[in-house]
Amino acid sequence: MKENQRKKQKRETRDKIMEAAMIMFAERGFSVTTTEIAKSAGISHGSIFVHFTTREELIDCAINVFFECINQEINIAAKGNADMEDLLEVHLSMLRSSEDFYRNLITQMSLLPDTTRERLFAYQTTLSFHFDDVLRREKEQGQIVGLPHHMLFNMWLSLVHYYLQNRTMFAPEGSVIDRYRDELISSYVMMIRRG
């Protein structure tokens, strides 16, 4: 009985750390310290290292949680015969749920360790794979221009990243995605669809 209680307590502490880290990475970026995260979580600083051996491991776990959710939803949409508009809508909805976290991730990528950047590339590759399913379907129907799929995916990411990285210009008081969702989707679809 005590063993189960200890496991539950340990899991709850880890969840507190992750929740605090995700919030702080979203609010202040990836330069926040483990001391600040521990204080926000209401735990001792040493408790972080019971669950995460390094600060980088904590960052990697936060990024993993973020991308697992996105890729799961994108996979469901792609396998469920979503068209391109539906897929882009799902992608933006998932990004919107953690918009500040993602914006900080893409703007501060150079500050992250090489291994973290490599994982980030792997997550984007998985996302690209799901986009490829929809692109292939629509290309077979003659709806998509003849550019390579990786270029079409990178065009979408570049468009979204440009707006997110320049939030102060496009939506200084709020969410870029809320403000430009429809325009981003319709503009991208216009670029990649035939006639």
**71-83 tens-digit pLDDT:** 999 999 988 888 9
Question: Which DSSP string do the residues of 109-151 spell out, in sequence order?
Answer: GGGS-HHHHHHHHHHHHHHHHHHHHHHHHHHHTT-B-SS-HHH
pTM: 0.90
Q: How far does Cα 103 stand from its chain's mean position?
A: 9
pLDDT at 3 over 80: no
Domain boundaries, the chain: 1-53, 62-192
pLDDT at 195 (0 to 100): 66
Q: pLDDT per residue over 90-142, tens digit each?
A: 999 999 999 999 999 999 999 888 888 898 889 999 899 999 999 999 988 88
Span 62-192 CATH architecture: Orthogonal Bundle (1.10)
Over the stretch 155-173, which tens digit does the pLDDT of each residue have? 999 999 999 999 999 999 9
- Coil/strand/helix, residue 84: helix
Buried b (16+ CB within 10 A) or exposed e, 158-182: ebbeebbeebeeebeeeebbeebbe
Class of domain 1-53: mainly alpha
**Percent of the chain whose pLDDT exceeds 70:** 99
